[in-house]
Amino acid sequence: MWARLLVGVGGSGLGLRASRGGSLRVAGAGCAGKRQQQQQQRGQASSAEAALKKTPLFDFHKEHGGKMVEFAGWSMPVQYKDSHIASHIHTREHCSIFDVSHMLQTKIHGRDRVKFMESLVVADISELKDNQGTLSLFTNEKGGIIDDLIVTKTDQGYLYIVSNAGCADKDSAHMKARLAEFKAAGFDVDLEYLDEALIALQGPTMARVLQEGLKEDLSKLTFMTSTLTTVFGVPDCRVTRCGYTGEDGVEISVTQSRVVELTEKLLANSEVKLAGLAARDSLRLEAGLCLYGNDIDESTTPVEATLVWTIGKRRRQNRDFPGADIIIPQIKAKTDRKRVGLVSTGPPVRQHTPVLSPDGKVIGEVTSGCPSPCLKKNIAMAYVDAAFAKNGTAIQVEVRKKAVPATISKMPFVPTKYYSG
């Protein structure tokens, strides 16, 4: 059976089908004869796959039954031998490894590194303690979101940044342009792009699994804190307690030459399985977490996206981040539309599904949606007119040209389990 993935990166969707063997097939082929069509598809798939970037775990994925698809210019596993639903439930009940090596990892060096980063993002970086991180946003002068990212203030004399693969070129160019301005003004700051692998271990049994490979007491590493340590004999791993599933978890930055070794040592524990993009997407949606290009982009502001909490108090008072003159007034005056959660039964709700008022007027659009494996009902994120954004409001969604009842719901849909100590 074909496993289908619709990928939205940077606002564009690409329909791909992953075969049992893991090859790519592009949805929507032409009208050539069947044999010619199959040959063309094989040739196109082979060429497309060859052009894709590969993580250090690419061969490992293939060896373990990974069905590979294109994601943000990378060849990534959408799922393995287990079904998407089985991987999702396993992560909620045990723990799973996700390859996230496609993400952009950056270090910001220099005496003026905090000033530099605060010129680009909305967070109060200076107030962070050593080895503490925060979710933040690159914003533009119009108040739009260029990307979301995690910024960690390490005790090693640099900031550690992880940002989205789909925005890697854009983010890099954005930081380099600001770096040139800072250097021209005499500031001490430098960028270093890391060539490390990155894996995420996510799920309620993560701590028990990982503790076996650490000398340090993992209970002292709380949500959004980070440490540089040895993991199962692999030195110089940056372990950050965070993730994209809503579960307790870590992301481990590790040298490319030893990521397979580390992954195999983690998989030696029966609690751990591999999981792919499909499970990652449904897990993050249950947790109410945004996907850049779907739920946030340069046409949405932090206020519309209900991400005001990412803006530091001092930054609001000083109005000294990009787009502050647009964003700060929105906090006080509210916005015409708002990102909300919604639930429904019946046919699944997907991206671009129209959201309707009870009398059938279009009041918004779904940005992400899927059947929830845990809740056994449809969940989605959407932007709707602010008048309809209150939790519990009865609305409709248009699925297959039919109006289906739905309800505005608070997020996360499934309670998050981040470890706070």
Binding residues for substrate: 251
Which residue ranges make up the annotated binding site? 251
Sequential DSSP letters for 252-264:
EEE-GGGHHHHHH
Q: Which two tokens stand for residue 267?
A: 């998989």
Which stretches of 111-196 are assigned E, i.e. beta strand? 132-139, 145-153, 158-163, 190-193
Which positions ≥6 away from 255 have C-beta within 8 Å? 196, 197, 234, 236
Q: Which residues on adjacent β-strands are paired with residue 251?
A: 200, 240
Q: Which two tokens stand for residue 105?
A: 């990892």
* Residue 324 and residue 142 in contact, taking contact as beta carbons nearer than 8 Å: no
Q: From CA 7, how far away is CA 15, in angstroms rounded?
A: 7
* Residue 362 and residue 356 in contact, taking contact as beta carbons nearer than 8 Å: yes
Residue recorded with tokens 């206020």: 303
Give Cα separations from 125 to 28, 133, 266 (angstroms).
46, 8, 33
Neighbours of 209 (CB within 10 A): 21
Residue recorded with tokens 């046919």: 347
Of 346, 383, 379, give the one whose Cα is nearest residue 366: 383
